[in-house]
């Protein structure tokens, strides 16, 4: 999630209150979240793999305090 935790909480609360069905769908979320989804779900498999590897390596480095 790009943003503060409080912002995420607000988006979820709003979606819960305004959703028509039993589940929250993409249509229940603000349009800005739709745009951000493109960053996480690229159409190109190679790009998706690169993004995953980058995020995974970053998470591992954070867990090890940057000690390779």
Indicate the pLDDT class of residue 41, thresholds 50, 70 and 90.
low
Backbone angles phi, psi at 67, to 5 degrees: -80, 110
CA proximity to 61, closest of 42, 13, 4, 53 = 53
Residue 21 tokens read as 């069905």
1 or 24: which carries more pLDDT confidence?
Answer: 24
Indicate the pLDDT class of residue 46, thresholds 50, 70 and 90.
confident
Would the pTM of this model clear 0.75, i.e. be above it? Answer: no
60 or 44: which carries more pLDDT confidence?
Answer: 60
38 or 14: which carries more pLDDT confidence?
Answer: 14
What sign does the dihedral 57-62-66-68 (CA atoms) show? negative
């Amino acid at each position: 999630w790009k943003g503060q935790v409080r912002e995420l909480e607000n988006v979820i609360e709003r979606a819960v209150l305004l959703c028509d069905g039993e589940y929250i769908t993409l249509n229940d979320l603000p349009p800005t979240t739709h745009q951000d989804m493109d960053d996480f779900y690229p159409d190109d498999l190679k790009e998706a793999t690169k993004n995953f590897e980058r995020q995974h390596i970053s998470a591992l480095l954070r867990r090890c305090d940057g000690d390779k």
